[in-house]
A and B are shown apart, each in its own frame.
Chain A
Amino acid sequence: MSRDLVVKSLRDNRAGTIAWGLVLVASVALQMAVYPTVRDAAAGFEQLLSSYPEAFKAMFDIQGTFADGAGYVRAEVFGLFAPLVVLGVAIGQASRCTAGEERAGTMDLLVANPVSRREVLLDKAFAVLVDLVVVAAALAAVLLAANALVGLDIPPVDLVVASLLSAVLALPFGALALLVGALTGSRGLAVAAPVGAAVVTFLVQTLAELADWLRPWRVLSPFHHAGLGDAVSGNADALGALVLLGTAGILLALAVLAFERRDLATR
């Protein structure tokens, strides 16, 4: 591993990571600031919620109650919002630092050095991983602070695990961005493919709550394996996390093979 390359990639990603991280922290902080009000009006909310269509509740992982902190956090934070941001980081950075760099033309400058293509790709992937961990840590930090300040009443370890799992959830999507970028050199495709995959697998996971025939297909959804909501409730799925890590590993290996073989594009 080349320290210079990792540092360079981290520096390139920095602005994006900070922006995504701030959006996440600020929004979650706002959501948490509202929590006491929600809790105190829980009865009214409960009524309101029961009137929501099932599809909507499935979509946001609303488990019938906002009255306890875990139900609130899993719906408000881990239902959609946190996955959206970590996926944004993973897909955005992975596509930018590979296909994006190739499109910008600077890949020639980089790869003309005595570094192998494999090293370039793995170092850049590592930088994206660091970004994800940073964002997940920021998420955990704001949740832990909220836990103490507004009394979410969630075991801190569950908040930390759920936050880290959200980063793990993002790995296969980031790796898919790397693979498509390595195959095509196109940043557009490197973004579109994982975004498309995310939309489809998210719908499969959430709609399976409503349509029984979809349930068997959930095994194809990373969102199912991440089980973020259940992790907040103290039921993290270790096997699911391994499935995600394994999938990301395979996609990354394929990305390396593709990148090693391809002609690099010029501007």
Chain B
Amino acid sequence: MNPVVRTERLTKRYGHTTALRDLDLEVSGGEVFGLLGPNGAGKTTTLRLLVDLIRPTSGRVLLFGEDVAADSVEARRRVGYLPGNLALYDDLTGAKLLKLLAGLRNHADLTVAHRLAERLDLDLDRRAGELSKGNRQKLGVVQAFQHQPDLLVLDEPASGLDPFAQRELHAAVREHADAGGTVLFSSHVLSEMEQVADRVGILLDGRLAVVDRVANLKANALRALTFTFDTPVDAGVFDRIPGVRDVTVSGCTVACRVVGNVGELVRAAAGLGLVNVTSAEPDLEDIFLDYVEKRESHVT
């Protein structure tokens, strides 16, 4: 089966800045893919290339197996898009805006929109210009979902949403994927990836640094461990164990970080009069910072 989204060496340059470099990405049907990266990494550039708002410098985009450059109208029929820099027609009420956009898609059925608006606690009778930032964002989310597209392209969908609305958004994203739909969204909020993404791609400086399942990223992540012993110990013992780094000793306590299997480390510790060990679940923040660090040490 064709992947729903496929990019081939997708590159976008603006003058001297390369916003996106040789991006090869595949997202398959039913998958929630999270595009993660710091400001200016190229997330918005990638998503706008997908919906043909901007054109690649080189490389190409295939949606549903078809080259977007050949016929982006057909592709967009099946796509719902939430812009990163969301702007709405301020003089229209939410209901009117949804009706207008639905009309452009020959999609007369507004029940999905109204149901989602209710879930997000969004008042569709107010004019967009009167809405608060978060409520405007909700309207943006609803218009992307309203025609039940095969593919959702969401640029920072959770930005500005309160925790309740974020939870509803994530639930809606999951439901969409469970029903067979595909979602590609961007964020720099890492916990969001953990909650909804099946796979994550980390973009740094326009390059895709890594793509993996959230679980694998976590497995390969640095894990912070803290050991307490009945007598002070020597840091050297730990330093020699492969995969262990950042060892700090203060009295009877040793803190370190380890990547991969912790077996050897724990066995060594057990032989030294171990009293207690605590392990922090690695969060994506660490994974993310780790990649950033690696890249920076690579550069300098």
Chain A contact residues, CB within 8 Å of chain B: 2, 4-5, 8, 104-106, 108-116, 261, 263-264, 266-267
Contacts and interface: CB of A to CB of B under 8 A. Distances in A.
B32 interface: no
A114 B55 CA distance: 17
Contacts of A108: 48, 53, 81, 83, 85, 87
Contact of B81 (A105, A112, A267): A112
Contacts of B55: 261, 263
B76 interface: yes
Given A263-B55, A264-B54, A266-B44, A114 B77 contact: yes
A111 B87 CA distance: 13
B103 A114 contact: no
A112 B51 contact: yes
B53 A106 contact: no
Given A2-B104, A4-B100, A8-B100, A113 B76 contact: yes
Contacts of B189: none
A112 B83 contact: yes
B247 interface: no
A138 B71 CA distance: 42
B101 interface: yes
B73 interface: yes
Contacts of A266: 44, 48, 83-85
Contacts of B77: 114
A159 to B, nearest CB: 36
A168 to B, nearest CB: 31
A108 B143 CA distance: 13
B213 interface: no
Interface string B20-47: 0000000000000000000000001000
B100 A105 contact: no
A263 B12 CA distance: 11
Interface in B45-85: 48, 51-55, 72-74, 76-77, 79, 81, 83-85
A114 B87 CA distance: 18
A266 B44 CA distance: 10
Contacts of A267: 85, 87
A114 B54 contact: no
6 contacts: A104-B87, A105-B87, A106-B88, A108-B85, A109-B89, A112-B81
Contacts of A110: 104
B105 interface: yes
Interface residues of B, number: 27
Most buried by A among B51, B89, B104: B104
A263 B103 CA distance: 25
A8 to B, nearest CB: 6
Contacts of B54: 263-264
Given A4-B100, A8-B100, A266-B83, A111 B105 contact: no
B103 A4 contact: yes
A109 B76 contact: no
Most buried by A among B51, B53, B105: B53
Interface in B131-147: 143
Nearest to B14: A263
Given A108-B48, A112-B79, A266-B83, 9 more contacts: A4-B103, A105-B83, A106-B88, A108-B53, A110-B104, A114-B76, A114-B105, A115-B73, A264-B54
A112 B79 CA distance: 8
Contacts of A111: 52-53
Contacts of A104: 87
A263 B76 contact: no
A264 B44 CA distance: 13
A113 B104 contact: yes
B141 to A, nearest CB: 13
A109 B88 contact: yes
A113 B51 CA distance: 9
A105 B105 CA distance: 20
B53 A263 contact: yes
Contacts of A106: 87-89
A267 to B, nearest CB: 5
A106 B53 CA distance: 12
A264 B105 contact: no
A5 B88 CA distance: 15
